[in-house]
Amino acid sequence: MIIPFPNESRFEAATIDRLELLGYEYANGRELREHPDFPLELVVATDALRRYLRARYPHARLFTPQVAVG
């Protein structure tokens, strides 16, 4: 069996396959961009990201998590 040379496209496809096996639903980014009212919360776990930013950068007072997340 010949294993194909790894590249970004194969890595992305494998990652999407793994996430779908875990129950995630794939959404094409180009299609999402066509809808400016698409809720960010469906793509980014904003609450989890805010918690991570606060824990990772407790000393950073130059930005609020809302600014970093949107």
Mean of the per-residue pLDDT values of the chain: 77
Q: Which of 33, 32, 31, 29 is nearest to 16 (CA)?
A: 29
Reported confidence tier of residue 21, pLDDT bands at 50, 70, 90: very high
Q: Which of 14, 22, 24 is nearest to 45 (CA)?
A: 24
Residue 3 DSSP symbol: P
Give the end-to-end CA distance of the chain in Å, rounded to a whole number.
47
Ranges of H-type helices in 3-63 = 8-21, 29-33, 46-56
Q: What is the pTM of this model?
A: 0.45
Q: For 38-61, what is the mean pLDDT?
A: 77
Tens digit of pLDDT for each residue in 30-48? 777 677 777 766 677 778 8
Question: Percentage of the chain with pLDDT > 90?
Answer: 7
